[in-house]
Amino acid sequence: MSTTAQSLHEEMFVLNLGPQHPATHGVLRIKLMMDGEYIADAESVIGYGHRMQEKMGENRTYAKFLPNTGRMDYVAAMFNTHGYVCAVEKLAGLRVPERAEYIRVITAELNRVASHLLWLGAFLIDLGGFTPLLYTFDDREQILDLLEGLTGTRLTYCYYRFGGVCNDVDDAFLAGSRQFVARMRARMPMYHALITKNIIFRKRCEEIGPITAEQCRKYGATGPVIRGSGVAYDVRKAEPYGAYPQLDFNVPVYPQGDCLARYMVRLDEIVESLRLVEQALDRLPGGPVMAEKVPRLLKPPKGDCYFNVESARGSFGVRLFSDGTDKAYRLKLRSPCFSNLSLFRECSRGMLLADALALLGSLDLIIPDIDR
Amino acid sequence: MAHELTWQIVRVLLYVVGLIAFAAFNAAYLSLLERKIPAWFQLRYGPKEVGPWGLLQPVADGVKLLTKQLLVQAESDVLLFKLAPVMVVVPAIMCLALIPFSEVLWARNINVGLLALFSFSAIHVLGTMLGGWSSYNKYASIAAARVVAQNIAYEIPLLLVMVTFVMVTHSMNLFDIVQQQAGGFWHWYLLRVQASPLMPVAFVIFFICMLAEANRAPFDMFEAESELVAGAFTEYSGMGFGLFFIAEYANVLVSCSLATVLFLGGWQCPFGLLPGLHWFLIKMYALCFVVIWVRWSFPRTQFYGLLNLSWKFLIPVAFLHLVLTAVMLKLF
Amino acid sequence: MALESLLKQLAAVALCGPAEAGATATSHAARGSDAEVTVAPGRVVEAVQLLDAAGFMVEAITGVDWLAEQQMEVVYDFTLVATGERVVVRTRVPRAQPEVPTISRIYPGADWHEREAHDFFGIVFMGHPNLHPLLLPEDADFHPLRKDFGA
């Protein structure tokens, strides 16, 4: 310390953000080259939570891998399961009954709301406002209770099956979902009044962390990141799947590309998800929730396919190679957070540390999804 | 003569013990309030296990801090490292010695009380900076640099407002200032718009600057948990950390007491009836509540936002207030 | 249609390759992509440049170990965000010497995808600025997703 005090010329120093750090949501290490308060370079070091899920996909039968899918992005677990299940259904040629498709939409959109609420609380904590977390968690508890009654788990769901869903919804779930939609709609103005109109919050987010649409394209960033940069890309509209083609919803897009734009995209997405849940509840058809004659040991024919779903964080993709046996030959899981984090290095150059943390928070990263 | 001297010495010793006890007791129970009040805002309970309503929680915290090993890094500057917490706590308690709590309850009544108080309160900046710098930790040194910049930026509007205040009160003696506010709440300096129309604004500027001086949110940049772990205190453990903690609350206490004495009439009753210590305490704790309330309601500002607020907004307004008061004094 | 003209250009690139090279339109519903192009490893960069010029986004880079055929395959998934069309570029390399030129100069996002493929399979992406392990430990010298990996 004393030698650096004596040498008066400026030096850059390396600051380690993490792997244990309150602001990195998971085990992430970022090697920052700091020039005073400004970031000269930021290299992300990942892999602390790498479990080799893709190898597990090769060593287990298709059904046995199902629980693993919920444990990657545990906050929005429905989407990962959805992507995997649909990829296998595509290869195996299974048709999912309508009721199951609508139930999948309801549960997925409820999960999206829960994920965005958790993100909102965590983002505000990163910025120093502790109180909103408790409000968002209160709302999130309502969703978790609903989904627990339906699926049995609060967080790492394994509810979808090849050809449908595991069990049918009951009246308690349907009534509870409607109540929740009404309650959440009434709460949204409160969030806007508490957070969106707060001048300190706006100063921390407006024009901070700009990401251009071209950067998103070059890095493969999807989800609220690309929609916050003015590009209306949503897998549910671009490559519709499930019951989404029959439902009416908007895709919120904000052109500014700063942290505030991404924040507004997610808050508007909550409102759109509530609309989707309501429509799906209104139109829920009768019938079975599981396709007929699904073999116990699924052996899809030889070939490969790709399926992607719009997860809460972006486009979650599964590339599945089958060789005709009961285990996948190769299972590639395309994680949205992986691509979203890869643009952090370029975007954070020359930013202040506090602003870079706001940017990191607005990317909505779940590290186990990146590490798999 | 000897009798008089003995009595003076005893009195001083009583006050020293009393003030330290007051500061420590308040620091302990303010820390409990700091957890109970946000719990109330956040729809949860806060500490309730240790003692009824969590009243023994500060005791438990204190015992925990006392029983921890005092780690000192080999590469850190040991003398400064150990001196820093002391340098932060002592000025706060010294400031408390200058504040008149009621007509009879005061430690020292100096003619330049206000000036002495601000001189003492400036020392804690040095203590925090030394704490950060001597820790041999990058996070801590960044935090130390931020503390100095923030405190310098917020001293200026604070002192400008105080200069204006002294122009109006014609006295730096805190006791006299409270006496001048006798009568009813319309005599309080907060509402003395005949002296200067911007008096309430001066109170707001004063309050904001005291928040920044005490490093309380939303100006707690140096302690920004999600960025710098624990800021300047990163390397402190056990009672070293405890002393910084006590210092923070003691500073809050000093700020609120000073605001009460200067702007809210000290121990005077709002309706001129029963003046006394109880009014002082009510007003002081009401301001402490506002301080805690503000901390848990706002996100943290960015560092340059904080400095911009001071240099580009508060200082011009404080200057305007100064000029306006001077004009009013000359004319009326 | 833009995709058809792009397909013709890609077919031209693919033709300068081995017999199994080619560019075909596929069914999105059946395969998850609108077009598949198989190229020789040396022509990957050309094909990707065509896709970059057409405004595609790199979505995923997958490595596959075909042990029986003693080959490794690299599958690139590209998406056009405006329309949702997808194009897949495939290339095969011998298993003993898996080398593919890097596309990270065209798409910076491919940097991490290629590092991951290298981690799992040992495929060397020539010209890559930093092929150190991304997900595996820094000193890892094994490639877990190879079919003959015996851990």
**How far is C9 from C7, CA to CA, in rounded Å?**
5
DSSP notation for B216-242: -TTS-GGG-HHHHTTGGGTT--HHHHH
Domains of chain A: 53-366 (1.10.645.10)
CB-nearest partner of C64 from A46, A321, A343: A321
Q: State which residue of chain B sits closest to A12, comparing Cα positions.
A: B138
User: Is C149 a member of any domain?
Assistant: no
How much is the CA Rg of chain A, to the nearest whole Å?
21
- Contact assessment for residue B267 and residue B277, using Cβ atoms and an 8 Å cutoff: yes
Q: What is the DSSP letter of C109?
A: T
Structural domain range at position B32: 2-331
Please, which chains are in contact with C (at least 3 CB pairs closer than 8 A)? A
pLDDT higher than 60, residue C16: no
User: Is C139 a member of any domain?
Assistant: no
Q: Are the beta carbons of A22 and B229 separated by less than 8 Å?
A: yes
Query: Which tens digits make up the pLDDT trace of A247-298?
Result: 999 999 999 889 999 999 999 999 999 999 999 999 999 888 888 888 888 8
**How far is C125 from C145, CA to CA, in rounded Å?**
17
The total number of structural domains that make up chain C: 1
Stretches in chain B below the pLDDT threshold 50 = 225-226
Instruction: Choose from A7-16, B224-233, C11-20, C86-95 the range with maximum mean pLDDT.
Output: C86-95
pLDDT higher than 50, residue C147: yes
The pLDDT value recorded for residue B332 is 75
Q: Are the beta carbons of A220 and C120 separated by less than 8 Å?
A: no
Q: Are the beta carbons of B42 and A134 separated by less than 8 Å?
A: yes
Q: Are the beta carbons of A220 and C59 separated by less than 8 Å?
A: yes
Q: Are strands C99-101 and C124-126 parallel, antiparallel or unpaired?
A: parallel
- The A-side interface with B (CB below 8 A) comprises 1, 13, 15, 21-23, 37, 124-131, 134-135, 138, 198, 200-201, 203-204, 352-355, 357
C55 touches chain A (CB under 8 A): yes
Q: Choosing among A15, A127, A191, A196, which should be mutated to test the B contact, i.e. which has the most B CBs within 10 A?
A: A127
CB-nearest partner of B227 from A1, A200, A357: A357
What predicted TM-score, i.e. pTM, was given to this entire model? 0.84
Chain pair A-B, CB pairs under 8 angstroms: 78
**A305: phi then psi, degrees, rounded to nearest 5:** -150, 165
The total number of structural domains that make up chain B: 1
CB-nearest partner of A315 from C30, C33, C59: C59
**How far is A276 from A127, CA to CA, in rounded Å?**
31
Q: Are the beta carbons of C32 and A305 separated by less than 8 Å?
A: yes
**How far is B80 from B88, CA to CA, in rounded Å?**
12
Q: Are the beta carbons of A128 and B77 separated by less than 8 Å?
A: no
The pLDDT value recorded for residue A1 is 42
Structure-block tokens of residue C42: 């040396």
CB contacts of C134 in chain A (<8 Å) are 46-47
The pLDDT value recorded for residue B226 is 44
Q: Are the beta carbons of A23 and B226 separated by less than 8 Å?
A: yes
Separation in Å, CA of C13 to nearest CA in chain A: 22
**Residue scoring higher pLDDT (C2 or B68):** B68
**How far is A241 from C32, CA to CA, in rounded Å?**
11
CB-nearest partner of A200 from B43, B133, B301: B301
CB-nearest partner of C135 from A47, A58, A307: A47
Query: Which tens digits make up the pLDDT trace of B186-207?
Result: 777 777 777 777 788 888 888 8
CB contacts of B229 in chain A (<8 Å) are 21-22
User: Is C36 a member of any domain?
Assistant: yes
CB contacts of C60 in chain A (<8 Å) are 220, 317, 319, 332, 334
- Contact assessment for residue A259 and residue A209, using Cβ atoms and an 8 Å cutoff: yes
Query: Which tens digits make up the pLDDT trace of A178-223?
Result: 999 999 999 999 999 888 888 888 888 888 889 999 999 999 999 9
Structural domain range at position C46: 2-91
- 3-state SS, chain A, equals CHHHHHCCCCCCEEEEECCCCCCCCCCCEEEEEEECCEEEEEEEECCCCCCCHHHHHHHCEHHHHHHHHHCCCHHHHHHHHHHHHHHHHHHHCCCCCHHHHHHHHHHHHHHHHHHHHHHHHHHHHHHCCCHHHHHHHHHHHHHHHHHHHHHCCCCCCCCEECCEECCCCCHHHHHHHHHHHHHHHHHHHHHHHHHHCCHHHHHHHCCCCCCCHHHHHHHCCCCHHHHCCCCCCCHHHHCCCCCHHHCCCCCCCCCCCCHHHHHHHHHHHHHHHHHHHHHHHHHCCCCCCECCCCCCCCCCCCEEEEEEEECCCCEEEEEEEECCCCEEEEEEEECHHHHHHHCHHHHCCCCEHHHHHHHHHHCCCCHHHHHC
Q: State which residue of chain B sits closest to A25, comparing Cα positions.
A: B226
The pLDDT value recorded for residue A337 is 92
Separation in Å, CA of A108 to nearest CA in chain C: 21
User: Is C101 a member of any domain?
Assistant: no
pLDDT higher than 90, residue C2: no
CB contacts of B42 in chain A (<8 Å) are 130-131, 134-135
Q: Choosing among C64, C81, C89, C146, which should be mutated to test the A contact, i.e. which has the most A CBs within 10 A?
A: C81
Separation in Å, CA of A371 to nearest CA in chain C: 7
Q: How confident is the model at residue A35 (pLDDT cuts 50, 70, 90)?
A: confident
**How far is B108 from B94, CA to CA, in rounded Å?**
10
Task: Kindly tell me whether chain C and chain A come into contact, counting contact as 3+ Cβ pairs under 8 Å.
Answer: yes
For residue C42, the domain's CATH number is 3.30.460.80
Q: How confident is the model at residue A97 (pLDDT cuts 50, 70, 90)?
A: very high
Over residues C117-140, the mean pLDDT reads 88
Looking at chain A, the whole-number percentage of residues with pLDDT higher than 90 is: 48
CB contacts of A315 in chain C (<8 Å) are 59, 79
> For residues A331-344, b (16+ Cβ closer than 10 Å) or e, as one string?
bbbbbbbbbbbbbb
Q: How confident is the model at residue A8 (pLDDT cuts 50, 70, 90)?
A: very low
Task: Kindly tell me whether chain C and chain B come into contact, counting contact as 3+ Cβ pairs under 8 Å.
Answer: no
User: Is C117 a member of any domain?
Assistant: no
Helices (H), B170-301: 174-180, 199-213, 225-228, 238-263, 277-297
- The B-side interface with A (CB below 8 A) comprises 38, 41-44, 75-77, 133, 136, 138-139, 141-142, 217-218, 220, 224-227, 229, 296-305
Query: Which tens digits make up the pLDDT trace of B126-136?
Result: 888 888 788 77
Please, which chains are in contact with B (at least 3 CB pairs closer than 8 A)? A
The pLDDT value recorded for residue A21 is 67
The pLDDT value recorded for residue A247 is 92
- Contact assessment for residue A226 and residue A277, using Cβ atoms and an 8 Å cutoff: no
Q: Are the beta carbons of B299 and A198 separated by less than 8 Å?
A: yes
Amino acid at A203: K
CB contacts of A216 in chain C (<8 Å) are 57
CB contacts of A128 in chain B (<8 Å) are 217-218, 220, 224-226, 298-300
C54 touches chain A (CB under 8 A): no
Over residues A60-87, the mean pLDDT reads 91
- Contact assessment for residue B249 and residue B31, using Cβ atoms and an 8 Å cutoff: yes
Beta-ladder partners of A45: A29
Q: Are the beta carbons of A342 and C55 separated by less than 8 Å?
A: no
User: Is C146 a member of any domain?
Assistant: no
Separation in Å, CA of B83 to nearest CA in chain A: 18
The pLDDT value recorded for residue A2 is 44
Q: Are the beta carbons of B226 and A125 separated by less than 8 Å?
A: yes
- Contact assessment for residue B262 and residue B218, using Cβ atoms and an 8 Å cutoff: no
